[in-house]
Amino acid sequence: MSIDLESLYRDLHRHPELSFQETRTAGVIVRHLTELGLEVEEGVGRTGVVTVVHGSAPGEGPVVWLRADMDALPVEERTGLDYASTARGVDPSGTEVPVMHACGHDMHVAALLGAVERLVATREEWSGTVVAVFQPAEEYGAGSRAMISDGVLERYPKADIVLGQHVTPLPAGIVGVRPGTQMAASDGLSVVLHGRGGHGSRPQATIDPVVMAAATVMRLQTIVSRETDPRDVAVVTVGSIHAGLKNNIIPAEAKLELSLRYPDDEARDRVLEKVERIVRAEAMASGAEQTPTISTDHTLPPTINDEDATARVTAAFERSFGQDSVVDPGMFTGSEDVSWFARDAGAPLVFWFWGGVDPQAYAEAEAAGTLERDIPTNHSPFFAPVLQPTLSRGVDNLVVAAREFLG
């Protein structure tokens, strides 16, 4: 019985789950893999799922790892789709939040399931082994490490190549792949600025962490605008500020959450040094009596595509889809944790993007110069890939890339 991938995708989109909470999603995956006659391990790295598909000569040929992430985001969906999410979840702080597949991981899961089904159906045509990895918690940058810590690299055949993909705001039917650095490295930082709380009517008796935070946020912007060569890539984003509970109380502390992006370790060292210098200097300028607390929430390496393997995958895509359908998308300043699998296994990685936007809508926005305004990006409450040909191409991408190595 073949998988109805469109219905599967709609179901996953309607029922998103936050990082490390993907129990229903994992159950859907397990059910379909079991129906394909495969042995499945669930609960890998808390909520991950892994299965193995052998080709015509078990134990012979290369080992190809195919990976899809499956977690959603704390975003309230505003797409207006008839299968839009109305789900709610509880984040790590215990706060109830809306939940949406605002990054397309539901499409990733559906495409990998479709690819596994096709590889099972054609297993007499190829030799080797496919390890299909459905990974939790990519949005926390923690899922791949959790699966690795759980022994996934030891319990399954060692990868000769790791392949993965991400849906993005390119026209549907387009594949974007490039050798070298495909996505940036990133760090997530939490910064706690310590002041002295008191009554809002007597600010002179306090050290106001809200003002300290405001000054720090503004000064941090100069790292890119005034301390980074315009030819280099760096991103410094303050994604959240938390301080105070009432308008007439000056709080004792303020918390900033930062997202930093850079192409390599040298740039990382430069940006981190500047962030720490500014945070500490602004606290000193405010008269803070306690040094700010700076902690790292996650660290992700750059996603670097192997030159030779990427050339093979690119050529395979061009043969299958036509040269006009394959582009170099440039380096993305977003980050991914897929490369931990390849790095820890000592295997090459090829990670690509594929389009999910209606081609006509994309062309019209491009002609009008309104792509940034009119085409929703990943993490937007309006992000929703067109169902087709996005889904079928996502399946094709994985099968074509895998078969390039499996033969």
Does 166 count as an annotated binding residue? yes
Does 32 count as an annotated binding residue? no
Indicate the DSSP class of residue 196.
B
Q: How many CB atoms lie within 10 A of CB 30?
A: 18
108: left (phi over 0), alpha (psi -120 to 50) or beta: alpha
Tell whether omega for the bond before 389 is within 30 degrees of 0, i.e. cis. Answer: yes
Return d(Cα 326, Cα 309) in angstroms, integer: 16
- Token couple for 72: 């959603």
Look up residue 160 and give its amino acid.
D
Cα pseudo-dihedral 19, 23, 28, 29, rounded to 10: 60
Burial 31-45 (b: 16+ CB within 10 A, else e): ebbeebebebebebb
Does 199 count as an annotated binding residue? no
Residue 238, classed as helix, strand or coil, is strand
CB 162 within 8 A of CB 341: yes
Does 379 count as an annotated binding residue? no
Q: Burial, 324: exposed, middle or buried (Cβ in 10 Å; 0-12, 13-18, 19+)?
A: exposed
Return d(Cα 218, Cα 29) in angstroms, integer: 45
- Token couple for 193: 């600025």
CB 207 within 8 A of CB 231: no
Residue 141, classed as helix, strand or coil, is coil
Return d(Cα 384, Cα 69) in angstroms, integer: 17
Query: Residue 171 CA to chain centroid, in angstroms?
Result: 20
Indicate the DSSP class of residue 157.
P
Return d(Cα 20, Cα 148) in angstroms, integer: 15
Q: Element (H or E) spanning 172, and its range? A: none
Residue 406 Cα distances to 32, 38, 158, 189, 317, angstroms: 23, 19, 15, 41, 15
Known binding residues are 103, 105, 139, 166
Known binding residues for Mn(2+) are 103, 105, 139, 166
